[in-house]
Amino acid sequence: MDYSLIGAVVYPQVAAVPHNRSRVRMNALLRRKVRALLRQQGYQQKDVFVWGTNSTELNSNGILSIVMDIYAYRRHAAHGLTLRDSATMNVLTGHNYPLSELFCAGCNYITPLSEEIKRQIKERDIPLIAEFSQIKPNQSYFLRDDYLVIYFATYEYTPYYVGIPEFPIPIASLRPLIDEKSPLYRFLPPPE
């Protein structure tokens, strides 16, 4: 009897972009990110089932934000595990924005984002297995509608059953930290 497990992974691919160079750059980045997740999940090992999905969380105002999830289950394990990565890119240049590039140069964005996450942890009564103090300078994130969504890996701060915790933060609430060069600026409502 063959106990091999199978799986399926759908690679995200950017197609409808006016500039070929940016399309090539974005697709290369997405392939690298998916392959890195697959390697972390041990996809080449026998008896590992791998399933990959991706979703376009935002495609507006020249900004594309994609989330990639790779789930792996090892035979005889109690449960599988999902790993996540994301990319938020400028469709004209193909540039991928780290979190730090979303805010004014030199401004302290870590403290306000961390405080909002602490508030949400308390308000949503999210159980923790490790104390949350603050985000990393280039914490994982994606954009969805009018929100900056910060997320953490399973087990980083929360138990397995919580999954991948997401913390949506309204972009409008970050206005003092955003300058005109930021991709977030495109999603700010007009000032009152």
Q: Can you tell me the distance from the alpha carbon of 69 to that of 154, in angstroms, rounded to the nearest whole number?
A: 12
Query: pTM of the prediction?
Result: 0.92
Same domain, 2 and 90: yes
Per-residue model confidence as pLDDT tens digits over 66-116:
999 999 988 888 899 999 999 999 999 999 999 999 999 999 999 999 999
Which residue range(s) make up the domain with 26? 1-96
Q: Please give the span between the terminal C-alpha atoms of the chain, in angstroms, as a whole number.
A: 69
Same domain, 186 and 116: yes
Q: Over 80: is that where the pLDDT of 41 sits? A: yes
What residue type is assigned to position 135 of the chain?
I
pLDDT value for 6? 55
How confident is the prediction for the chain on average, in pLDDT? Answer: 92
CATH number at residue 1: 3.30.565.40
Q: Can you tell me the distance from the alpha carbon of 4 to that of 119, in angstroms, rounded to the nearest whole number?
A: 45
Q: Over 90: is that where the pLDDT of 34 sits? A: yes
